[in-house]
Amino acid sequence: MAKEPKPAASSGTPLERLPEILAKAGVKLGVKPPAASPVQPPPRRTEAEEPLSDEEAFASAMNGVPRAAWRHDPHPTSMPAPELPSKPADEDRRLMQAAIESEFCIPVPDHPEYIEGWVGVAGKKLLPNLRNGLYSIQGQIDLHGLSRNEAELAVEEYIVRMSRFRSCCIKIIHGRGINSPADRATLKQSLQRLLATRRMSRYVVAYASAPARDGGVGAVYVLLSRQ
């Protein structure tokens, strides 16, 4: 019995015969997607080129960044209230009130009616503190309504009486003579002469016009020594 001839073997490697085998089996391969093009890096700036400015660097850094939405309404800006023109009288009154309430009083020694004096080295040494009102006041006497002779007798008697107990500081209110007939501070001049006498030097260490907060040139501080 004669043998049937064998089919001729297909030539080629198995990988080359793969499409033929898949075709006989009825398997269809999908279409291969095209390869994505590689991302090209941004061109580098050479050393010869000028550096980026701030605006260019910011725009380059923010390239591709989505812009965020603002969720809140901006607060409306309030217009400043217009300043009303003040009357000159009101402004003067305001400045006067501010000067009265101020903790920093205007110094009195430059005033033309200012007076001061001292007895001996101790009086000169203690005068600056007395001038600045650094001593507590243990008593005061008011000379308003008295004549010159009455005022001198009242001041001398008061100083002698106060100096019998302790060293102290007193205040004598003499006024400025604004309402006097001669429009002069006669009591003040008489008081200054009295405090500078040799008789009163036994009691008086120093004297000076009071600071503005305590009467100014209408009153005088007198520092007494104990007798």
Residues 71-91: tens digit of each pLDDT: 655 556 666 666 665 666 676
Higher pLDDT, 104 or 63: 63
Helices (H), 107-147: 120-131
Average of per-residue pLDDT across 40-47: 61
Q: What are the sequence ranges of the domains in the chain?
A: 116-224
Which pLDDT does position 55 carry in this prediction?
A: 81
Which two three-digit tokens encode residue 89? 């009288």
pLDDT, tens only, 138-149 = 999 999 989 999
Report the candidate in 208, 188, 193, 222 with the shortest Cα–Cα distance to residue 108. Answer: 208
Place of tokens 């040799």: 198
Determine the average pLDDT of the residues in 41-63.
Answer: 72
Instruction: Say what the pLDDT of residue 34 is.
Output: 60
| Span 170-210, pLDDT tens digits | 999 998 877 766 666 788 889 999 999 999 999 999 999 99
So what's the pLDDT on residue 69? 64
pLDDT of amino acid 90 = 72
CA distance 219 to 173: 4
Architecture of the domain whose range is 116-224: 2-Layer Sandwich (3.30)
Proportion of the chain above pLDDT 70, given as a percent: 63
Which of these, 212, 165, 170, 167, lies nearest to 191 by C-alpha position? 170
Cβ(154)–Cβ(143) below 8 Å: yes
Task: List, as own/partner pairs, every contact residues 87-91 make where C-beta atoms lie below 8 angstroms and the sequence separation is at least 24, other chains included.
Answer: none
> Which single residue is written with the structure tokens 């008697």?
157
What are 175's two structure tokens?
């006024």
Helices and strands in the chain, H and E counts = 6, 5
Give the pLDDT score at 220: 96
Kindly report the number of other CB atoms within 10 A of residue 226's CB atom.
11
